[in-house]
Amino acid sequence: MDISLPSDEFIKTSFQDACKTLGIENFEQSLKQTVIYDMTDGMRTSTQLKGSNAYYDGGIFVVRLMNIMRVLGMPACYVNVIEEKHRQRDNYSDIYEGLKLLYATYEEYAQKYGVRLNFVGDLETALEPSGSSGGFGENLKRLCQKTAGNTQFTANFLINYSLDWAMKHESYFTGFPKIDVTIRHTKLQFPTGMMLPPTISDFSSLMYVQQGSASSTWNDNQLIYLVAVALRSKILNESTQYFKQYADGERDFVRSQRETELYLVHRRPFVEKLIGDIMYAKIKTSSIPLAENVPQTKRMMITGNLGPEIYEF
């Protein structure tokens, strides 16, 4: 496996520091019940990488992210990979070839760290671009079976997926974990085709990340803060959907902050620290060139019932 992953100690210590900076207390129990859906995007524009190499880079981003979640004790995640409409794109062959390049890496990672890989979507329809030989869907099924007994973490990958398919196979999702936070890269949109059924996603908060999910532009600290800000989004939005009850005086406070004071948190607490003593995860692979090791600021936005919070680091 040609990825250098940070130590468990580094992840845990850095995450604790991030939570302290973000004002998150007693996070251990919340983490064990937090499920993130990362809507990857930006493969064509975030780096100078071309074709399947860009999508391979995106797949490495996901390995590094789910490794952090696993080490922190989170139970599962969801990741979008191929939506049915993606197959109509003129670069679908690049997406498919990148996926094939990642197969061995994901298999090795899953077996080494006890991760269950689950592929959600229509694997009966051939995934291959027109003119290519078939069988990749069967390979994914075998990988799912091979890792079915792994219990350290579960990664659910949406492949040849659509909400239409999901609603026709609703019983398939029985027992699946509910999403707490949906992370959307590059676009402040939530395409219907990539949504999960309401039984899975109805209480999820939405988090916007301006930068794409390209591994070669994210260092380990930035990925750790990505998870920490997502946890803050979950905490801010717990019990605010459908069943919110207001205590005495709370409505007036919310109204004042949101409507009159125009509540906004805009913090850049991490930039200088990252520039000063950053640690990079080196991607050791002949498949893609490394981006220049220059810190690049990441921006993300979450909201609570008072208004938006923007973090840059």
Q: What is the pLDDT of residue 262?
A: 93
Q: Which residues of the chain have pLDDT under 50?
A: 271-290, 294
Which pLDDT value is given to residue 268?
Answer: 77
Residues forming beta bridges with residue 302, ordered by sequence position: 309
Q: In what order do the strands lie in the sheet with 299-303?
A: 115-120, 153-161, 76-83, 36-39, 181-185, 205-209, 299-303, 308-312, 265-267
Per-residue pLDDT tens digits for 1-39 = 678 899 999 999 999 999 998 999 999 989 999 999 999
Q: What is the pLDDT of residue 281?
A: 40
Cα(192)–Cα(170) distance, rounded to whole angstroms? 16
Reported residue count of the chain is 313
What is the rounded distance in angstroms from the CA atom of residue 175 to the CA atom of residue 150? 16
What was the pLDDT predicted at 295? Answer: 56
Residue 88 DSSP symbol? G
Residue 28 in tokens = 């251990």
Structure tokens at 2: 């040609």
